[in-house]
Structure formats: C-alpha cells, structure tokens
Structure 1
Amino acid sequence: MAAITFKENPVTLLGSEVKVGDKAPDFTVLANDLSPVSLQDSKGQVRIISVVPSLDTGVCDAQTRRFNEEAAELGNTKILTVSVDLPFAQRRWCGDNGIENVQTVSDHRDLSFGKAYGVAIEELRLLARAVFVVDSSDTVTYVEYVKEATNHPDYAAAVDAAKSAK
C-alpha cells in the first residue's frame, strides 16, 4: 500500500488496500440517529464514499460541501461521508452547514469501514482521506487514497468516475 502521511508524518493504516475491480467490502457504520448503515443499504445505486478524518476541519468541511454540491448532477448516486466523528456531532455539523445531499455516517464504534477499506490510522484512531466509487453491482470503479491526509482529493476524477459507473 502506498505510504500515507498526516501533517507530513508517516502513519500506519489498518486493513487491506481496496483496488479498482475489487468487490466492495461491506461494512457497518452508524447514521446520525444511531441506526446501522451498510453498503448493502444502497445496493443498486452508484456510491461515492468520501472518507474524511473529521468534519470539523477545513479540508474535511470543504470536501463534504463539494460532494454535497455535486450530488445534484449525479442522479442515481448515493454519497456517503465517513468519519469517526460521533453521530451527534455529524448531525449538528450537517444542520449548521445545510448539508442535505450527502449522508454522514460514523465509524467511531469499531472502525468497520476503516479496516475494510484500509483507511483506519492506527496512531490517531482517525480515518485517512480517501474517495471510493462503487457501481450498482458493488464493484469498486475508482479509488483515491490521498497521500497527505491534509490535502484535497481529486474531486473531478471522482465525479467523472461516478458518472461513468452504472
């Protein structure tokens, strides 16, 4: 797996790297109301899974807002933003920022998503910044592990991949 840094310091990622062509691993995270959410809940749709360390930081805020804006152009696409922020904090953040087109979900309980997609940072118990596109048949069609966790992902490439996925 490619080396990932957080504020220019190398970090250890738990789990296995996901690659284009893989069957998307399932996971269980929590919605803002504490109900479980899994990949299978959006079966039959294209999914963009936007992974951020914490919604209360500048780049994570911008990333989630950007995908919220892009959602209107994407039709049959579900957008999930995954972080280890508590569900209550995610709900507050979405309400404060008018986020309605992206579903924020929390991996705080057991890092199910983080370990399944190889983005759980062992040293910090945060998730590394990444974007995955999963098609309607649960095949991964796009992967970006952002090399420096404080940098932005390639939004255009992810949106193009979602538009191309079926």
Structure 2
Amino acid sequence: MTENVRLPSAELQGRWWTWAASEPDATNPVADTDGSACGRNQPHDVWFLAGTFGGQVKRACEVPSGRPIAAPVVNLLADSQNCAAFMSGAQGTVLLDGTAVEPETYKGDSIMVQGAQDNPVTGEEGRFTATGCGLWVQLPPLASGTHSLKIRGRSGDFSIGVDYVLTVAASSV
C-alpha cells in the first residue's frame, strides 16, 4: 500500500480482522490498555491500529516510517442483517493532530477471516467467512515525529474511545 493507494473495504476489513484475531487475550491489540501490543503481527505494507471491546484507553505506539495506517472507528463482524442494524446507528470522529479526518463507511462486505486459538476478537479458530462493517480511516504515512490520533466511535449502546500517541521514526533512507 502506498501513499495514494487505499485498500478496498473487503480486503482492509478481512486483513484487519485476521490481524486482530491473531493473538490470545493477554497479547491482543484490541484488549491492549497501553499500546504494548500494537506492534504484534503487523503486515509489511500497512500499520493497523485497534479499537477496544468497549470503553476508553490511551495507547503509545511506535510506527515505522513510510507505513500507511488503517484503523476502525467502530466496527462489527457479524451477518448482513446485524451489520445493517449496527450501521444504522454508527457514528464516529477521528482527530489527527487536532485536525478532523472523515471516516469511510463500509456498510457490509463479505470477508474472509483467519482466527487464532483462544483469541478474544472472533472466538473462532481457523478460517471462516463473515460480514464486516463499520466506519474506518486509512491514513497516508505520517511524517517523522510524534502524532496524536483520537478515535471515538459509537453504535447503539456500544462505544469506544482510543487516544493514540504515535511516534514515527525518522526515515533511514
């Protein structure tokens, strides 16, 4: 993924859910309370950030230089009917260094997910198909230095808030 290329919604969601479901509870990036698990199992072409299972957290993460970032604002893995209900009330905001970033709306895509044993995200081990939906952001690579990313999402009674401090190392090129 380069600066000007965005992952299609089904690919982004399938890859993100597989990433999020690749770790057990103790090291899962969605269950992470401080950012210590944000670097686990990251793909080489994009840097994924996680929401929460509900509630607010503050995380500090180091992000490699030149890596685009993708994160859900609020998302769901379900069937098409539950996704439709979830998306009818979905709302969210994203602030990158104090500037609003408009989330993209993915109403429901059939996606392929691979879950690891004992993962708290899908509860399923192995490969399966589901419907993914939500509000998402895809950011181009950030300049070196420290950045603030504030994500707030809600649908019905479910809400999340994540305050990230992202540190991007200077490029070694």
TM bucket (normalised to shorter chain) is: 0.3 to 0.5
Q: Tell which structure's C-alpha radius of gyration is larger.
A: 2
TM-score normalised by L of structure 2: 0.34
TM-score normalised by L of structure 1: 0.35
Which structure has the higher relative contact order (CA within 8 Å, separation 6+)?
1
In terms of fraction of residues, the more helix-rich structure is 1
